[in-house]
Structure 1
C-alpha cells in the first residue's frame, strides 16, 4: 500500500512538473470602463466650488458659469483670453496604457478652442485637440482620444478646456470616459509585442544615452528577446532599437527592428515598426505603391495598431527589412543587397554635436560598401563573390571608373528618379539612404526605393524646380539647407545621356494625369483601408492626391525647357565647380578611425593579406593586428602610410590573421583600432566588363547592318566568347550546326530565330563539353526556336558570373517547337526567368539535374517528354503555367514541382518512376486532372518549405495512382482535395524530410 501511495505521489509530482513547463499563452487584457461623466455646468458640489459631473467626479471652473448661451439645460461656461481655462478634471492613480475619450461642444470663433491633457503642472502636455468632429446649429464638437504613454511614468493627469479667442466662446456638455486600455473594434487586427521589465529598463537607459548623443549609435542597438502575438499566433523574436536620429525614440513610440525565429509574420522574417510620423504618414505608403506599380524594387510597407506589454501604443508603420524575401517577393532571383556604410557619418555628427565644431571629411569617398546579412551571405562562397562584384560596381560608379549604364539597371533607376520628382520624396536620394540589389543574372545593380517621406513636411524646401536634376538654379545660391553630398552623389547620373533620355521618358509618362488617375484607382481599396487605420489615432489626417496632380502639372510645364537645358553641350561642365574639392586637414584625432579602412584577402589558414585605404590627412603608423580575444600581434616593423590628398593611400600587408588593425597618428599612447572586413577591398574585377572585352562576334558572325540582322555559317565553331548586342535579329538557318568549345560563351541581347526542320534540324553542341551556355538576356522581341537540338552544354561560369541553365532565357519571351535538350552538364537544362514561353513537342533526355526550371514566368507546355532526369523534370517558382499531354519518366526527385506561390493547371499527364510525382509547395495552387502517377515513391506531396510563404494547395480529379508506395503525404495546414474529398494533412515539417 505504501509503495502504491509513493508511486501515486511520484506520478502527481511529474504531472505537476509537466504542467508547470507548459508554455504560457498571451492573455489580452479586456478593455474595461473605469469611470465616465458628463458635465453641462448644471450641478455644483456640496460647497459650490466645483461642478458635480456625476459618478463622484468633479471639475473646476464654476467662476466661468453662464446662462448667456447654452446648448442644453440652463448653463454652460464662457471663456475668452481674459478667462481662458475651465472644466479642469484631475485623474489620479493613472496607469500606463490607460485610455481616455473626451468631447465638448463649443459656440464661438473657429480654431481657438482646445481640449488639453497634461500632467498636473501643465508643463508636460500629452495632447491638444482643436479639430472639429461635428457641427450642429452653430455648435462645434471637439473630440480628444489618447492613451497614457507606455514609456512614461505618471501618477496624475488633468484634462481641461482652453480658449485663445478675444471673443466670448461658450462650452457645454463635456464628456469623459476612462478605460484601462484602448477598446478595439472587432474588425481590427493588432500586433502585440511583449518583453520583460528588465528589457524595458534597458531600452529606457538606451533612450537616455541616445537623446544625449543626438544620434542612435550601433551601441544602442542591442538585441533582446521578445514575443510577438498576432491573431492568436505566437512568434519568438529578437528586437532592438532602429533608426539613425532621435525622432525614433524621442516620443512615446519607439522604433524597433524585429527578427522572427524560424517563422514569418505577413510573409516577413525581419521587419521594423515605427511611428507613421517618421515617414510622413501616407506619403511613404503611396510612394511604395508607386514603386510597385512601376516594378521598381521596394519594401513592403503598411500600417497596424500596436500594443506593447498589453498597453496600446498607437498606430505604427511596419516595413520589411533588406533580406532575400524582399527580392523574391518582387520576382527577382536572390542576390546580395548592399549599401554605403553610414555609421561613420553618424559618428561624425555625434562628435560634432559634442564638440560644437563641424569638420569637412571625405565621408562618402571613405564609406565602405556593406552587405545586408553578412554572416549568411558569406557562408555561401558564390554569394560572397557576388557581393564583391556588387561592391566593385558601386565603387566604380563612386569613383567615375565606369559609366552609369555599366553599373546600374538604368530603366528602373530612371523610373525611381522620375517617381521621386513626382512625389518630391528627395529624402530617398541621400547617398546613405540608398540601397541596391545585385542581379546575379544581369550583373547590374538595381535601386531599392524606400525612405522618401520626410517627417518635417511634404518636400525639401530647397528643391524648388519641378524636376530633380534641373541643377542650374543652384549656381550662386548659398543655402543652409543645400545638401552638397546629395548633389554630388547624384551628379554622375545626370551627366549621362542614356539615363537622361530614360528619365525624361518617365517624367513624361508620370506627369500625364491619366497615369495618376489609373494608379489611384488601382490602390483605392488598400488606400482607404490604411488611411482609416491612421485616422483612428490621427482623425484629422488627410492625404491629398491633388498634390500629385499639381506636381505632375508642374513637371509637364518644365519638361520642354529641361530638354533644352540638358541638350546643351556645356550642361555638364557648369556643375564641376560645385564638386567638393577640399577637406579639413587639422582636426581631432577621433576622426582618424573613421577615415582608415581595412580589408582582408585570405592567403593561408593563419595568415592574411590586409588591404588598407587611408583617407587620413596626416601620416599614420600601423603597428599590428588584434584578434577576437583582444591579443595584439605586433609587426616586426611599423608600417607608415602617407597622408591623404584627395586620393586614398593604398597599401597591403602580409601578417597574422586579425579582427582589427592597430594604428596611431600622433603618439603611441593614443592607439586606435579599426575593424578588418572579411572581404577584399573594392577593385576593378567586374566579370561583365571583362567578358565584353573578349567579344569575338565580329570575326564569327555575318552582319547585315542595314537590316540589323546577324547570321551564322552552316557550320560554325565558336572557340571565343560571343556577345551579341541588342537591336539586332539573330537568325540560324535549317541544317546549321554550332559547336561551342574552349570554354566559350554564347550570349545575345537580341532575339534569336532558329529555323530547323524535321529533316534538317539545327544542332548546338559542345564537342569538348566546355561550352558556357546558350544565353539570351533581355531581348526586346520574341525568340522562335524550331527543331533545335541542344546537346552537351554547360552553363555560364565566368569569374563569378554564374548561371544555372545550359540554355537560359531571361526577360526574353520565347517559343520552342520540336526542340531537344540532352546531356547537359549543369544544374538546369533549360532555365526561363521573368519571361513568357510556349513549348510544344519537346524532349528532355539524360539531364544532369533539373530539366526545365522556370522562375517568375508564364507559359504553356504541351505534348512534351521528360526522361532520365537526375532531379526534377519540371520545377517552377512564382510562375503561372499550363501543362498538358506530357510524359515524365524516371525523374530522380519530382516529376512536377510548383513552389513559391505558383499557379499550375496540369492535365493528361503520365508520371512514372519518380521519387515524388507532383509536389505543391509554399502557397502554390495546383489543379491536376485526368492524369496517371505510377511507380512513384510518393504520389502527391504538399508542404511549406520556406517560413515566409503559406501552406500549399492541390486539387486533383480523375487521377490513377498505380503502385505508389505512398499515395499522398500532406503537411498539416495544406489543402488537398482528390475527387472533391478533402484529405486532412497530419504531417509536420516535411521540409526537414525532403530538403535537409
Structure 2
C-alpha cells in the first residue's frame, strides 16, 4: 500500500486539451495582433461571418468545442517521416526567409534532396518550397513543400505531390468541392487531398495534406489516357485610361521535359497549344476547343460554391484529351470558403473574362444549364446529407491539429439554388451581388501569344524544303543543331546546314533554313534563353492544326463523286455493291452511317471513314458487309466513330475489316485502325484481319457488348479497350503481334466479363489487365502464347476454367508495373496447364496476389523493368 499521495497523471488527449487552454490564455496576452491571427488560423479557425460580433461568438463556440474535438479526433493517420540534411535544410530556410522579407515566394527556389519513410518503406526525393503566397510559409512549421520521388516510386498514387498545411487550402473546402462533382456524376479531374501526419527531421509538424501535383500520375488515377496538362502564363499587360486591363496570355504545357522527350506527346503539344491560342485570339469557339459537357459541369459547380478563385487566368489547368483533341478542366485552387458573404454571389463564371467567353458559346452554355439543373435536383434530394457525412469523417482527421475547425453550413447551397431559380429576384436573393472586384484585379479583355515553335513552318518550296522560324518572344532564341528525317525515317545529320549552328535568334528576328528535298521532318534542338535546350519536331507541309477530329459540313461536290452513298440529313446510306473510295470521308455531326448486307467499300491508302454519330452495319451470315483496301494499295486509313450523349448505340453485325491502319492525319494520329470513342457499341460476328497499326480494334470510354469476334494476323495488339464496361463473348484471337509487342486483349481502367475466349499465336500477352481493371474470365484457352493471363497495377482478375499450353514464358502473372497503382490480384480456379514443369510458368511479385484453386502462390521479387527491357519489350509501329 502506498502511503504517499500519487502524482496525478493525464492522458495525451487531456494534456493536449490543457495545452490548448493555456495557448488560448497566452494568445490573449500576446501584444501582436498578427501573431494571434496566425495562431488561430493554424489551429483551424475560419471566420464564417463578416461582422465582428458574430466572429467573436463563433470563436467562443469553437474554443468551447475544441477539447471535445481533440478528444474524439481520429489520430490513426498515415505518418510520413521526412529527413533533410542540415545544409540542404538551410537552403530551404533561406528561401523562406527571403519570401517573408519580399512578400512572396520567389519563382527561382532551391531544390534539395530528401528521404521519406512510410510504412517502413524508404523513398528518395527532391524537395522545394511549394506555392507563391506567404500563407505557405507563415508558420514556424508546416511549410508547404513540393516533392518529386526518384526511381519512379510513388506515394499515395503520386510521384509528384505537395505537403500542404490544411489552412492554406481552407481545410475541407477543396475536398467538398470535388465530392460535390463526384456525387453529381460529373467526371472532372480533381487532385487528391489526403490528411497525413508529418514528422520532419524529428519534429512533429502535425496534420498536413498530401496534395497530388498536376502530372501524369494524376491523369492515370483519374482514368485518363496519357496526355498533357496546360496552363496560362502572362506575356504582357496593359491598362487604359479607364483602368481597364488587357492581358496577353501565353499557353504552355506542364512537365516540359517529359512532354518534349516523348514524340507522341510532343505532337499532341503542338495541337493543344495551337488550339488554346486560337481560343484566346477568338478564332475558334469554346466548344471547338473544350469538352463542352465537362466544362459546363465544372463552371456550374464553381458557381454553386462561389469558387471565383478557380476562374482567374493563372489558376486554370486543362487536360488535353488526345482522342478528342479537346480540353477538359482540372479542379485547381478553388479556394471555397464557408463565409456566407463570400460564398453567395451571382454566378462568378458570368463575370470573369475567360469563363464568360466560354459561356457565350451556345453549345457550352446548354451543357452548363443542364449541369445547373442536375445540381438543383441533387440538392433537393440528398446531396447535402451525403456531403455532411463525408465532411464529418474528414473533420475528425483534421481536428487533431485544428481543433477550432468548424463544419461548413452546407444549407447555404439551398439559398444558392433558390436564387439561381429566381434569377436572384426571390426573397433573400436581391441583396446578393456580383463578385467583389476588390478581391481580384479583373481583366476586361485578353489575347493569346503563341509559342515560337507553334508559329514555325516547314514547307515545300520550289522543289526543296524551307524551315521558317520567327522569334516572337521577348528573349533570345538559341538554336543548337538540326537533324533531318526522310520518309523511311532515316536520319540525316545535315552537316552543311549545321555548319552555321549554334546560332541565336534575337527578339523579332526571322530565319529561313533551306533543307534537302527528301527531308520530310526535322528535329531542331533549341530553346528560349530561360529554358533548357529541347527537341522540337516539324513535319513538312503540316501545321499544328492541319487536321483535328471534328464533324464536317456536307461537301456536296465531294459526295457527288460517290453516288452510291445516299446522303440525307442525319443519315448516310451505302448501297449494296462493291465501291471504291479515294478520299478520307468525314460526316457531319449526329450522323448515322448505314452499311447494308452486301455493301463492300474498298479504300485507297489515305482514304478512310470518320463518323460523328453512330455506325449501323446490317450484314448477314451469307452476305456480310466489308471494309478493305483497294487492290493496288497496301493498306487504308481506317474507321473512326465518335459519339456523344445524343448518339444512339452503334450496332455492327457481320462485318469484315481487313488491311486497315490508323488514320495519320497531320499531327493527330490515334492508335486504333477501327476506333470507337465515347460510344455504346454492339459488335456481333465481326472479323478483323491483316491489321496494319498498333491496335486492330481500339475502344475508348465505351459501353460494349462483343459477340463472336475474330481477329487474325494483327501487326500488333488485337483489341485494346480503355475505360470500358461490358462483355466479350465467344471470341477468338489468332496470329497476334507478328511484328512484336502484340496483346490479344489489353484493357486499362475497365470492367469487363470475358466468356469463352481463345488465343492462338500471341507474341505478347493473351489477356492483359491493367490500371485498376476488374475482369471476370469464364473459360479461356491459350495456345502458343508468350504470356497467358496477366494482372497488373491494382487490377483484379477472377478466372475460371483456364487452359494453357505451349506457353513460352508465363501462363499466369500478377505484378505491378506502375508504382502509382500498386500490386494486382489474380484468382484462378479450374486451371489446366498442359506444359511440362508448368509450375515454373506461374509468377507473382511481392506485393501482389495469385491464388490457384484457393491456394496462394508464394510471391517473389521481380525485376519488372528488366522484363519490359527483354522478353516483354515492345516494338510497336508508329
Q: Say which SS state the counterpart of residue 623 (structure 2) adopts.
A: coil
In the TM superposition, what is the alpha-carbon distance from 1:635 to its structure 2 partner?
11
Hey, what's the Cα distance between the residues in 1 that align with 2:761 and 2:206?
58
Q: Say which SS state the counterpart of residue 190 (structure 2) adopts.
A: coil
Q: Aligned residue for 2:132?
A: 244
- 1:911 pairs with 2:778: no
Matches for 1:668-679 after TM superposition, within 5 Å: 679=536
- 1:259 pairs with 2:148: yes
Match of 1:786 among 644, 650, 653: 653
Q: RMSD of aligned C-alpha atoms?
A: 4.3
Q: Aligned residue for 1:427?
A: 309
CA separation of 1:100 and 1:657: change in aligned 2, threshold 3 A: same
CA contact (8 A) 1:119 1:125 kept: no
CA contact (8 A) 1:397 1:403 kept: yes
Instruction: Tell me the TM-score normalised to structure 1 length.
Output: 0.70
Q: Aligned residue for 2:324?
A: 442
Q: Aligned residue for 1:377?
A: 259
Q: Say which SS state the counterpart of residue 268 (structure 1) adopts.
A: coil
Q: Aligned residue for 1:505?
A: 370
Q: Aligned residue for 1:468?
A: 348
CA contact (8 A) 2:344 2:416 kept: no
In the TM superposition, what is the alpha-carbon distance from 1:491 to its structure 2 partner?
3.4
Q: Say which SS state the counterpart of residue 367 (structure 2) adopts.
A: helix
CA contact (8 A) 2:525 2:534 kept: no
Match of 1:316 among 208, 216, 240: 208
In the TM superposition, what is the alpha-carbon distance from 1:816 to its structure 2 partner?
1.2
Q: Aligned residue for 2:403?
A: 539
In the TM superposition, what is the alpha-carbon distance from 1:126 to its structure 2 partner?
6.3
Q: Say which SS state the counterpart of residue 285 (structure 1) adopts.
A: helix
CA separation of 1:983 and 1:208: change in aligned 2, threshold 3 A: same
In the TM superposition, what is the alpha-carbon distance from 1:794 to its structure 2 partner?
0.6
Q: Aligned residue for 1:823?
A: 690
Match of 1:882 among 736, 747, 753: 753
CA contact (8 A) 1:625 1:657 kept: no
CA contact (8 A) 2:720 2:747 kept: yes
In the TM superposition, what is the alpha-carbon distance from 1:283 to its structure 2 partner?
1.4
Q: Aligned residue for 1:933?
A: 804
In the TM superposition, what is the alpha-carbon distance from 1:608 to its structure 2 partner?
8.1
Residues 571-603 of structure 1: CA deviation (Å, up to 9, x unaligned): xxxxxxx975799xxxxxxxxxx9997559598
Q: Aligned residue for 1:969?
A: 843
- 1:716 pairs with 2:590: no
CA separation of 1:369 and 1:778: change in aligned 2, threshold 3 A: same
Q: Say which SS state the counterpart of residue 822 (structure 2) adopts.
A: coil
Q: Aligned residue for 1:474?
A: none
Hey, what's the Cα distance between the residues in 2 that align with 1:742 and 1:709?
26
In the TM superposition, what is the alpha-carbon distance from 1:789 to its structure 2 partner?
0.4
CA contact (8 A) 2:651 2:682 kept: yes
Q: Aligned residue for 2:291?
A: 409
Hey, what's the Cα distance between the residues in 1 that align with 2:173 and 2:20?
32
Match of 1:613 among 443, 468, 472: 472
- 1:732 pairs with 2:595: yes
Hey, what's the Cα distance between the residues in 2 that align with 1:246 and 1:818?
64
Match of 1:230 among 107, 110, 118: 118
Matches for 1:448-459 after TM superposition, within 5 Å: 448-453=330-335, 458=339
In the TM superposition, what is the alpha-carbon distance from 1:803 to its structure 2 partner?
1.0
CA contact (8 A) 2:480 2:502 kept: no
Residues 656-706 of structure 1: CA deviation (Å, up to 9, x unaligned): 9886768xxxxxxxxxx8888865899763522799489645754745646
Q: Aligned residue for 2:866?
A: 992
Q: Aligned residue for 2:488?
A: none
CA separation of 1:624 and 1:435: change in aligned 2, threshold 3 A: closer
In the TM superposition, what is the alpha-carbon distance from 1:528 to its structure 2 partner?
2.5
In the TM superposition, what is the alpha-carbon distance from 1:255 to its structure 2 partner?
0.8
In the TM superposition, what is the alpha-carbon distance from 1:825 to its structure 2 partner?
0.2
CA separation of 1:534 and 1:37: change in aligned 2, threshold 3 A: farther
Matches for 1:802-821 after TM superposition, within 5 Å: 802-821=669-688
CA contact (8 A) 1:599 1:677 kept: no
Q: Say which SS state the counterpart of residue 986 (structure 1) adopts.
A: coil
In the TM superposition, what is the alpha-carbon distance from 1:839 to its structure 2 partner?
1.3
CA contact (8 A) 2:581 2:601 kept: yes
Hey, what's the Cα distance between the residues in 1 that align with 2:700 and 2:371?
25
Hey, what's the Cα distance between the residues in 2 that align with 1:104 and 1:408?
50
CA separation of 1:691 and 1:379: change in aligned 2, threshold 3 A: farther
Q: Say which SS state the counterpart of residue 850 (structure 2) adopts.
A: strand
In the alignment, structure 1 segments of 5+ residues that lack a partner are 1-35, 39-53, 56-98, 107-112, 132-143, 147-164, 170-174, 177-181, 353-357, 472-486, 562-577, 584-593, 616-621, 642-649, 663-672
CA separation of 1:130 and 1:763: change in aligned 2, threshold 3 A: closer
Q: Aligned residue for 2:102?
A: 213
Q: Aligned residue for 1:51?
A: none
CA contact (8 A) 1:388 1:679 kept: no
Hey, what's the Cα distance between the residues in 1 that align with 2:537 and 2:122?
42
Match of 1:296 among 184, 188, 193: 188
Residues 798-830 of structure 1: CA deviation (Å, up to 9, x unaligned): 111111111111111111111101001001111
In the TM superposition, what is the alpha-carbon distance from 1:506 to its structure 2 partner?
1.5
Match of 2:629 among 766, 778, 796: 766
CA contact (8 A) 1:303 1:533 kept: yes
Q: Say which SS state the counterpart of residue 219 (structure 1) adopts.
A: coil
- 1:286 pairs with 2:166: no
- 1:196 pairs with 2:196: no
Hey, what's the Cα distance between the residues in 2 that align with 1:317 and 1:885?
47
Hey, what's the Cα distance between the residues in 2 that align with 1:581 and 1:364?
7
Hey, what's the Cα distance between the residues in 1 that align with 2:864 and 2:373?
51
In the TM superposition, what is the alpha-carbon distance from 1:276 to its structure 2 partner?
1.6
Q: Say which SS state the counterpart of residue 788 (structure 2) adopts.
A: strand
Match of 1:943 among 815, 821, 836: 815
Matches for 1:474-873 after TM superposition, within 5 Å: 487-512=352-377, 514-515=378-379, 517-520=381-384, 526-541=390-405, 542-558=407-423, 580=444, 599=453, 610-613=469-472, 641=508, 651-652=510-511, 679=536, 685-688=545-548, 692=552, 696=558, 700=562, 702-703=565-566, 705=568, 708-714=570-576, 715-767=578-630, 768-779=633-644, 780-870=647-737, 871-873=742-744
Q: Say which SS state the counterpart of residue 955 (structure 1) adopts.
A: strand
Hey, what's the Cα distance between the residues in 2 that align with 1:636 and 1:507?
55
Residues 713-771 of structure 1: CA deviation (Å, up to 9, x unaligned): 22332211211233333221111101122402311121111011111000111122342
Match of 2:825 among 926, 933, 953: 953
In the TM superposition, what is the alpha-carbon distance from 1:538 to its structure 2 partner?
2.1
CA separation of 1:892 and 1:775: change in aligned 2, threshold 3 A: same
Larger relative contact order, structure 1 or 2 (CA cutoff 8 Å, min sep 6): 2
Q: Say which SS state the counterpart of residue 863 (structure 1) adopts.
A: strand
In the TM superposition, what is the alpha-carbon distance from 1:415 to its structure 2 partner?
0.5
CA separation of 1:721 and 1:376: change in aligned 2, threshold 3 A: same
Hey, what's the Cα distance between the residues in 1 that align with 2:502 and 2:128?
39
Hey, what's the Cα distance between the residues in 2 that align with 1:522 and 1:738?
54
Residues 494-523 of structure 1: CA deviation (Å, up to 9, x unaligned): 3222222221221222123x3465444555
CA separation of 1:387 and 1:129: change in aligned 2, threshold 3 A: closer
Q: Say which SS state the counterpart of residue 590 (structure 2) adopts.
A: coil
Hey, what's the Cα distance between the residues in 2 that align with 1:651 and 1:519?
58
Hey, what's the Cα distance between the residues in 2 that align with 1:364 and 1:312?
44
Hey, what's the Cα distance between the residues in 2 that align with 1:856 and 1:599?
34
Q: Say which SS state the counterpart of residue 291 (structure 1) adopts.
A: helix
Q: Say which SS state the counterpart of residue 449 (structure 1) adopts.
A: coil
CA contact (8 A) 1:596 1:614 kept: no
Q: Which moved more, 1:521-530 or 1:239-248?
A: 521-530
In the alignment, structure 2 segments of 5+ residues that lack a partner are 1-5, 45-55, 61-65, 427-441, 460-465, 482-499, 515-522, 874-878
CA contact (8 A) 1:100 1:145 kept: no
Hey, what's the Cα distance between the residues in 1 that align with 2:258 and 2:20?
57
Q: Say which SS state the counterpart of residue 750 (structure 1) adopts.
A: strand
Q: Say which SS state the counterpart of residue 348 (structure 2) adopts.
A: coil
Hey, what's the Cα distance between the residues in 1 that align with 2:573 and 2:424?
42
Hey, what's the Cα distance between the residues in 2 that align with 1:916 and 1:559?
63
